[in-house]
Amino acid sequence: MKKNKRKNAVSNEEKPKDFKVAIQKLLKYNKSYVSLIIIALILSMISSILAIIGPDKLKDMTNVITKGLLTGIDTDKIKSIGIVLICFYAASLIFNYIQGLIMAIVTNKFSKNMRREISIKINKLPLAYFDKTTIGDILSRVTNDVDTIGQTLNDSIGSLVSSITMFLGSLFMMFYTNWILAITAIVSTIIGFVLMATILSRSQKYFSNLQKEIGNMNGHIEEVYSGHNVVKVYNAKKEVDEEFDLINERLFINGKKSQFYSGLMPPLMGFIGNFGYVAVCVVGALLTMNNVISFGVIVAFMIYIRLFSQPLTNIAQCLNELQSTAAASERVFEFLEAPEMADESNKKIILNKASVKGNIEFKNIKFGYTKDKEIIKGFSSKIKAGEKVAIVGPTGAGKTTIVNLLMRFYEIDSGDILIDGISTKELTRDNIHNLFTMVLQDTWLFEGSIKENIRYNQDSVTDDEIINACKVVGLDHFIRTLPKGYDTILNDVDSLSAGQKQLLTIARCMVLNTPFLILDEATSNVDTRTEILVQEAMDKLTKGRTSFIIAHRLSTIKNADLILVLKDGNIIEQGNHKTLLEKNGFYAELYNSQFENACE
Amino acid sequence: MFKLAKKLTKKDVLFFLFSIVFIVLNVWLELKIPDYMSEITVLVQTEGSLMSDILKEGIFMLLCALGSLATAVVVGYLAAHIGSSYAKTLRKSIFNKVGEFSAAEIKSFSTSSLITRTTNDIRQVRMFIVMGIQMLIKAPIMAIIALSKIANKGIEFSIITAVGVVIVLILITILIIVVLPKFKIIQTLTDNLNRITRENLTGIRVVRAYNAEEYQNARFEKANSELTETNLFTQKAMAIMSPVMSTIMSSVSLAIYWVGTYLINEAAMLDKIEIFSNMVVFSSYAIQVIMSFMMLVILFIIYPRASVSAKRINEVLETEPMIKDGQIASDTTKLKGVVEFKNVSFKYPDAEDYILKDISFKANQGETVAFIGTTGSGKSTLINLIPRFYDATDGEVLIDGVNVREMNLEYLNNKIGYVSQKAILFKGSIKENISFGVSKKGKPALKKIKEAIKIAQGEDFVLNMPEKYNSEIAQSGTNISGGQKQRLSIARAIAREPEIYIFDDAFSALDYKTDYNLRKELNKYTKDATKFIVAQRIGTIKDADKIVVLDSGKCVGIGTHEELLKNCRVYQEIVSSQFGKEAI
């Protein structure tokens, strides 16, 4: 019984760009397991050799039986052959199993390492990398691609080696025994394989079409299901149905054809075997009659032809499978080899959280997410310690970008940001992050208890501090009504509203104690009345700290010391609420548009 | 699983019956081959056999092999057809069913679950059918025919074969018991790993801001180790399967020969040859018998997965949508766009608390009615009752004096232009997106489309796109910004020329200026239409004819901005929270 798990191998139409390079990298990556893999390979070679000799022994047994059929069989001889065979089977069982175990261990460790490296890599990549990729794409590398590599390596390496051994072994045995029969066997097998290859190459296009249509179908369904309300109210059922039916029909046709073609493999293989069998028998009989060979040769050949054609199929399947291994490892390595953030171990200056005064200066900053489009065009501003700075402006003006640069999530193209007169370029990113607390518009919580979510990575925070923070944001009562209080696990189906989630992230920031504070649309998910509560809490928090506030609702920033009005990447106005209103410029227009009368 | 069988078409069933016939034929031919093999062996072995005899047997064997190939191909085709056609039917049924669903059912299943049910689950069922047809039918037939061939050919040989079968069954049973539950765990652990990675990616700024990279890596590593350990356990267990199987097969042959030797030696002279030929036949068929038992067992391994999927599909198909279509499909009065809520209350089917309680108001043609209140106060739920995403639990919603429940849904929808909070666009050109769906007036002309985009303040950016109105929107509109998406979805509502507009917090994604300009243009253009606006910003709703203030599902004030400023405390609080105390 050979491994038959690979029925769908053909359906994998993923093709690597450079097969050789990918496999080489993979082998290099596997370096630490080389000795284990070699042991496994040797074991599988031995058991293949046993598989080649085994039938030979069984043939001997048949010969002994036929010879003594009428005169009495030599049972001692049978016994000795039988015992040898039992040893063979036992050895092959043990070797095969050990080989399987080794490969399972190696591939699992290997997959685990690979996943770990991807996870670590995520936190070493510059944020700019994630602008270009989707979450789904990275996720599929961590799971699907690594799984594919592990699975196919597990299946194919062992089977490739044993198949090659068996193939070469039987080839050798065949030519050793009789070259005419050997050629007969090879020719008849090759005819069969040419047939199979033609069919397979013709079927390739259905497989790739199938993948494409599956993608189309998923896309269409996702769109229609998530836009269900719109489809309904716009009476668009018929319209989306038509599209669905088209894709469904194409999916049906391609699915049917690819299923059909991949199902052809096993019966075709069977037929090739039978065909070779008859060819060998006929040619063999001809030779026997002319007394060129003995009958035993034919019996041996009948077995060799199977041993010969089966590994060929296996090798073909393995190579096919290795194609998808290569494609998957290419994707993983592409990720692992992406350029990381600059190394900062040589930076010596460290700003201490406790002793930082809190002055910040932006000096003629220029920045663009892509080279061809500048977002921030020469931004300069001086902020004194303890000031409350608001950044306002229409969407797309670059407000969040300023925060991204301040936190050094992105590196500025030119210009400089100074903290207490020290260029942030001289500091490590970790050091900068230590000085800031930030609350973002998108609430981010992870699956863990409420307590863990608030304490997040700050071991020094006590339970009391956590409870206090929750009291300040007005969540304490609510949390206590939950069945497990502060130990309640937050997950996807929890009962927290968007506003409550935001309050939790605000509480998380409150337990930190940093000289700088960034609030990027921090209260946009909280309704305006709760916002007042939070605002009060935040005001307490911002006291004595330099804080940056980005807000849609202009009311929240009226008492800021400095308002920076951003438009198209430039500061077009700055000052406090009063002076800006008096100026009657863009800010005044923005502010008043809140009250404008839409009806004439 | 069996409930789903009803979905097979007549052609599928016919094909299924055909495939049984062909499978029987296939197995019969396949098992015929060893007969010819032994004939040929005997001929080759016997001195003085004629070459023509060998050729004749060889040709017969090849014919059998060809026949078996042909029948296998036919069966393969039939199975592929049935599986794919069945998948197609099921997919269509689910898609249709989901189309009938109301928002309540979608919510209770969740969109992502519905998507998996329409795709992955159907694939599971299809796989089972394709394999099932070939294996479930083939295995017993094979076992029966093979057994019939070796019946009465020696009790000793039968016992050996039976022992082989029993060992295979025991091994597989143990594996199923040990490994199968672990497979379920692996699924959860993989989900875990995915979740942690997803969390790290979505919160990448927070992770970095907190210098929590190591914290995340540690969480990942824990999940990674758990997954690896469980994976390793199952793979180690499964690794025993293939070596043991091949050993059993070889051992059965060996045992038959070995035992045969003694049987032949002890037998009377005349019986010797018969026992020998029995022995040869047995050794080839015994393997077939063991194989067919193995195939059956493998099916039992696949079955649980398919059955879970089938159950999930059934759940969707058996869910009856709560919203039932009404009868009235034409205008009964001269009224146009008059909407009235009469003592409307609403709660979710299984919920205890009401989300809306006793809401009453009336909107006349051309009026703008706005809704404001804290998050969770029920604003969106309230206006979702008009297009019947949900039905009111108590009270009635009337349009032009007719209860919406009694209206034909298409007729009702034709009156409405709806814009959701989260802009929803579809793959296709901008033009196609604006003319999406069917309205009373048919598909809007290009002129209308351009006009609608202009009103929605989208003209500038659309004209800036390379193909203008024919520019392609990617799936879910990922290639344009949130504000642009929202403007297009507003334009889509305008192009329908509805009698009633519903804007469910549709203006929040726009900046103040765009918001202002858009509403100004819209008011000019839609003088006769009734407009419902849910909003957060006071500025957006200040000029509405009526403002409904909601608090925890109750209406705490109805009136104009000025009236409410005077007499509604909640409204005052909202205003002061946005503009400061002096604004009041």
Query: Does residue A40 have a pLDDT over 80?
Result: yes
CATH 1.20.1560.10 range(s) for chain A read 5-336
- Give the one of B118, B217, B510 whose C-beta lies nearest to A221's C-beta: B118
pLDDT at A453: 85
> How does the average pLDDT of chain B come out, rounded?
80
What is the SS3 assignment for B235? helix
Instruction: For residue A485, give how far its alpha carbon lies from the nearest alpha carbon of chain B (Å).
Output: 22
Query: Does residue B382 have a pLDDT over 60?
Result: yes
Query: Does residue A9 have a pLDDT over 60?
Result: no
Helix (H) or strand (E) holding B429: strand B428-429
List domains and CATH numbers for chain B.
Answer: 3-318 (1.20.1560.10), 326-415+498-554 (3.40.50.300), 426-491 (no CATH)
Report yes or no: A329 and A27 within 8 Å, Cβ to Cβ: no
- Give the one of B76, B249, B476 whose C-beta lies nearest to A264's C-beta: B76
Determine how many CB atoms are found less than 10 A away from the CB of residue A140: 17
List chain B residues with CB under 8 Å of A245.
92
Question: For B226-232, what is the mean pLDDT?
Answer: 90
A363 touches chain B (CB under 8 A): no
Burial class (CB in 10 A: 0-12, 13-18, 19+), B354: middle
Report yes or no: A370 and A378 within 8 Å, Cβ to Cβ: no
Question: For B295-322, what is the mean pLDDT?
Answer: 78
Does the domain at residues A360-592 carry the CATH identifier 3.50.50.60?
Answer: no
Chain A segment 28-47 residues within 8 A of B by beta carbon are none
Query: Does residue A379 have a pLDDT over 50?
Result: yes
pLDDT at B553: 77
What is the SS3 assignment for B532? strand
Determine how many CB atoms are found less than 10 A away from the CB of residue A165: 20
CA atoms of A215 and A213, how far apart (whole Å): 5
- Record the tokens describing residue A310, joined without a space: 């089966």
For residue range A269-323, what is the model confidence (pLDDT) as tens digits?
Answer: 778 777 877 787 778 777 777 776 666 677 677 777 777 777 777 777 777 777 7
Q: Which residue has the tokens 């015994």?
A: B286
Query: Does residue A493 have a pLDDT over 60?
Result: no
CA atoms of A583 and A221, how far apart (whole Å): 53
pTM reported for the whole predicted model: 0.70
Question: For B316-328, what is the mean pLDDT?
Answer: 80
pLDDT band at B478 (very low <50, low <70, confident <90, very high): low
Question: For B142-166, what is the mean pLDDT?
Answer: 79
DSSP summary character for residue B394: E
pLDDT band at A4 (very low <50, low <70, confident <90, very high): very low
> Distances in Å between the alpha carbon of B32 and those of B25, B39, B57, B143, B503?
10, 11, 12, 14, 74
pLDDT at B454: 82
Q: Which of A209, A208, A210, A236 is nearest to A223 (CA)?
A: A236
pLDDT band at B225 (very low <50, low <70, confident <90, very high): very high
* C-beta atoms of B88 and A248 within 8 A: yes
Torsion of CA B43, B45, B46, B47, to 10 degrees: 120
Complex ipTM value? 0.78
pLDDT band at B577 (very low <50, low <70, confident <90, very high): low
Helix locations, A68-178, DSSP H:
75-122, 127-132, 135-140, 146-177
Query: Does residue B45 have a pLDDT over 70?
Result: no
CA atoms of B388 and B269, how far apart (whole Å): 91
Question: For A124-129, what is the mean pLDDT?
Answer: 84
> Distances in Å between the alpha carbon of B241 and those of A40, A100, A311, B171?
17, 10, 20, 8
Instruction: For residue B395, give how far its alpha carbon lies from the nearest alpha carbon of chain A (Å).
Output: 22
Question: For B354-372, what is the mean pLDDT?
Answer: 83
pLDDT at A3: 37
Higher-pLDDT residue of A412, B437: A412
* C-beta atoms of B239 and A101 within 8 A: yes
CA atoms of A193 and A199, how far apart (whole Å): 10
Report yes or no: B204 and B195 within 8 Å, Cβ to Cβ: no
CA atoms of A174 and A600, how far apart (whole Å): 98
CA atoms of A78 and B264, how far apart (whole Å): 13
pLDDT at A5: 37
Q: Which residues are CB-contacts of B466 (< 8 A; sequence separation ≥ 6)?
A: none
pLDDT band at B161 (very low <50, low <70, confident <90, very high): confident
CATH 3.40.50.300 range(s) for chain A read 360-592
pLDDT at B578: 67
Query: Does residue B256 have a pLDDT over 70?
Result: yes
Computed from CA positions of residues B195, B198, B203, B209, in that sequence, does the dihedral angle turn out positive or negative? positive
pLDDT at B496: 82
Instruction: For residue A77, give how far its alpha carbon lies from the nearest alpha carbon of chain B (Å).
Output: 11
For residue range A432-489, what is the model confidence (pLDDT) as tens digits?
Answer: 888 888 887 777 788 888 888 888 878 788 888 888 888 877 778 778 777 777 888 8
Instruction: For residue B113, give how far its alpha carbon lies from the nearest alpha carbon of chain A (Å).
Output: 10
For residue range B51-75, what is the model confidence (pLDDT) as tens digits?
Answer: 777 788 888 888 888 898 899 889 8
Tell me which of 3.40.50.360, 1.20.1560.10, 3.20.20.70, 3.40.50.300 is the CATH number of domain A5-336.
1.20.1560.10
DSSP summary character for residue B471: P
Percent of chain A with pLDDT over 70: 87
* C-beta atoms of A89 and B251 within 8 A: yes
For residue range A199-225, what is the model confidence (pLDDT) as tens digits?
Answer: 777 777 787 777 778 777 877 887 888
Question: For A504-525, what is the mean pLDDT?
Answer: 78
pLDDT at B141: 82
pLDDT at A552: 65
pLDDT at B293: 78
pLDDT at B583: 54
Percent of chain A with pLDDT over 90: 0
For residue range B128-148, what is the model confidence (pLDDT) as tens digits?
Answer: 888 877 777 888 888 887 777
B76 touches chain A (CB under 8 A): yes
Report yes or no: A258 and A203 within 8 Å, Cβ to Cβ: yes
pLDDT at A495: 60
A493 touches chain B (CB under 8 A): no
Higher-pLDDT residue of A136, A268: A268
> Distances in Å between the alpha carbon of A61 and those of A66, A67, B512, B533?
9, 10, 94, 91
Percent of chain B with pLDDT over 70: 93
For residue range A143-163, what is the model confidence (pLDDT) as tens digits?
Answer: 778 887 887 777 777 778 778
pLDDT at A13: 42
For residue range A342-356, what is the model confidence (pLDDT) as tens digits?
Answer: 887 787 777 777 778
With residues binned 3-state (H G I as helix, E B as strand, rest as coil), the percentages for chain A, rounded to 5, are 65, 10, 25
For residue range B186-205, what is the model confidence (pLDDT) as tens digits?
Answer: 777 877 888 888 888 878 88
Task: Pick the residue of B46, B63, B84 with the most A CBs within 10 A to test the interface with A by mutation.
Answer: B84
pLDDT at A66: 73
pLDDT at A295: 65
Determine how many CB atoms are found less than 10 A away from the CB of residue A286: 15
